[in-house]
Amino acid sequence: MPSNKSVSDAPIVQFTNCRILRSHQLQREDLWVREGKILNPEKLFFDEKGSADIQLDCKDSIIAPGFIDVQINGGFGVDFSLATDDFKAGIDLVSQKILSHGVTSFCPTLVTSPPSVYHQVLPQISIRDGGAHGAGILGAHLEGPFISREKKGAHPEHCLRTFEAGAFQDLLATYGSLDCVRIVTLAPEMKRSSEVIRELTKQGICVSLGHSVANLSQAEEAVQHGATFITHLFNAMLPFHHRDPGIVGLLTSDKIPSGRRVFYGMISDGIHTNPAALRIAHRAHPKGLVLVTDAIAGMGLAPGRHTLGQQVVEIDGLNTYIAGTKTLSGSVATMDTCVRHFQEATGCSVETALEAASLHPAQLLGIEHKKGTLNYDSDADFLMLNNGLYVQATYIAGEEVWRQDALGM
């Protein structure tokens, strides 16, 4: 086959016999990849007079962008909120294991912890590309400690903090550094939160509202100052009330600044949110829905006692509670499970379900030009799935990093 090597010597791979999720639709066309990027075949044919070096038959699989999990506390026995000597080995293990669930990028999440934990753990989290070693790390998600006591959920009360006179300096002193931080969850009703939201946003950090008793006007004010996300909608916030819908009201608020979109995380595990509530949120604001696992160290392990930061949690089936209570504490659902449950619960299209775990989190983080889509020139992070949305293979930068063995399919 003729191929023009003047542009690049790298091999061109053509994925055939597949349905590609592009422009919100599954399209029957081939996917072309070179040097970790998705190629425009027209440019290849007409400008370079090139063709494929390798052809792969996808056997009618769906090809979708890799999943992006922006809230994951750990998994497989690893807890990101514990300062251990082998923290790096732990984060490597999780990034490797989640490849089989279709996650190609993630934000390791720390729940409310003492300052000493942030000071030890955060310097050990480095933003990095994914590959055969595991999913890419987009930066840390710090959930707390600047949250409401009334809606602390599974967060340890003795570690909660408020903003004092030098609000942003308080935050810096607590975390130690913001170098690798991508998302901060805080309660917007706290005094001085507005200046903190403005400063974090100025530094390119996504501010999420959660674990909060904020009313709607407080939530709208936070969005006007730069907040763009809601942490696990419905969980750890005031329930919807028709006279003041609270943070939930942001989904249909007319006070969102022009050109801005509020996104919201949903734990679609069949436990944290009733399917009817999932449907209400999806129908009210479909383009803002971001699937998150909120997975804890017990994900992938047998039922029993595990940790979530400073707390002991108990896993019973898909339920996870703070030991000795009925307080829910994170999830043990995997991202591919959440995608399937979301599609089943809402009756949405396959395309919509897949975009809630890929395009929407990429848009939230402002990386949709390279992640979360299969557009030309974007990163070739993608999945092969069957019609039941079970992951068959995971690719990062065009390289296969995980494949379901033939017996397991």
- pLDDT 10s digits, 153-171: 999 999 999 999 899 999 9
Q: 168 and 53, same structural domain?
A: no
The pLDDT, as a whole number, for residue 2 is 45
Same-domain check for residues 104 and 195: yes
Closest to 171 in 3D by CA, of 136, 201, 151: 201
pLDDT tens digits, one per residue of 284-334: 999 999 999 999 999 999 899 999 999 999 998 888 999 999 898 899 999
User: What integer pLDDT is reported at residue 405 of this predicted model?
Assistant: 82
Q: Where are the alpha helices (DSSP H) in 141-215?
A: 167-175, 193-202
pLDDT for the residue numbered 7: 60
Answer whether residue 4 is part of any domain.
Answer: no
User: 328 a known binding residue?
Assistant: yes
Q: What is the pLDDT of residues 81-110, one digit of tens each?
A: 999 989 999 999 999 999 999 999 999 999
What are the residue ranges of helices labelled H in 185-255?
193-202, 216-224
In a domain, 5, yes or no: no
End-to-end C-alpha distance for the chain, whole angstroms: 34
What is the rounded distance in angstroms from the CA atom of residue 187 to the CA atom of residue 313? 24
> Do the domain assignments include residue 408?
no
Name residue 225's beta-bridge partners.
none
User: Does residue 30 sit in the same domain as residue 59?
Assistant: yes
User: Which tens digits make up the pLDDT trace of 326-343?
Assistant: 898 899 999 999 999 999
57 dihedral zone (left: phi>0; alpha: psi -120 to 50; beta):
beta
Residue 4 has pLDDT above 60, yes or no: no
Query: Residue for token digits 């082998």?
Result: 86
Residue 280 and residue 233 in contact, taking contact as beta carbons nearer than 8 Å? no
In a domain, 2, yes or no: no
Q: Is 386 annotated as a binding residue?
A: no
Whether pLDDT at 58 is above 80: yes
Asked if residue 267 and residue 156 are part of one domain, the reply reads yes
- Tell me the residue type at 23: S
User: From the candidates 69, 79, 269, 294, which is the catalytic residue?
Assistant: 294
173 pLDDT exceeds 90?
yes
Does residue 3 belong to any structural domain of this protein?
Answer: no
DSSP designation for 146: S
Asked if 317 and 206 sit in the same domain, the reply is yes
Catalytic (active site) residue 294: yes
Residue 4 marked as a ligand binder: no
In the block, tokens 């890929």 appear at 358
Helix, strand, or coil here: 177? coil
154 is in an annotated binding site: yes
Find the helix or strand (DSSP H, E) in which 336 lies: helix 335-346
In this prediction, residue 318 carries a pLDDT of: 84
Domain co-membership, 218 together with 361: yes
Contact 167, 126 (CB under 8 A): no
CA distance 265 to 230: 6
149 annotated to a ligand binding site: no
Are 378 and 285 in a shared domain? Answer: no
**N residues, the chain:** 409
Range from 61-65, 318-322, 389-393 carrying the lowest mean pLDDT? 318-322
User: The CATH number of the domain where 311 resides is what?
Assistant: 3.20.20.140
Domain count along the chain: 2
CATH number of the domain within which 399 lies: 2.30.40.10
- Tell me, what's the pLDDT at 407? 40
Q: Structural domain of residue 106, as residue ranges? A: 66-365
SS3 content of the chain, % helix, strand, coil (to 5): 25, 30, 45
Note the pLDDT tens digit of each residue in 229-244: 999 999 999 999 999 9
| Structural domain contains residue 7 | no
Q: Are 25 and 168 part of one and the same domain? A: no
Average pLDDT over residues 213-217: 98
Rounded Cα–Cα distance for residues 69 and 333 (Å):
12
Paired tokens of 250: 């942001």
pLDDT exceeds 90 at position 220: yes
- Tokens 């998600």 belong to 141
Q: Could you tell me if 26 and 159 lie in one domain? A: no
Phi, psi of 105 (to 5 degrees): -150, 150
* CB 248 within 8 Å of CB 237: yes
Single-letter code of the amino acid located at 352: T
Residue 198: φ, ψ to 5°: -60, -45
Q: Which of 15-24, 209-218, 316-325, 399-408 has the lowest mean pLDDT?
A: 399-408
Same domain, 245 and 350: yes
pLDDT over 50 (residue 143):
yes
**CA-based nearest residue to 282, from 364, 353, 213, 362:** 353
pLDDT at position 406 over 70: no
* Mean pLDDT, the chain, whole residue set: 94
Q: Does residue 6 fall inside a structural domain? A: no
Residue 19 lies inside a defined structural domain of this protein = yes
Torsion, Cα 183 289 81 173, to 10 degrees, reads 20
Considering the domain architecture, whether residues 208 and 197 belong to the same structural domain is answered as: yes
Confidence at residue 43, expressed as pLDDT on a 0 to 100 scale: 85
User: Within this chain, do residues 87 and 38 fall inside the same structural domain, yes or no?
Assistant: no
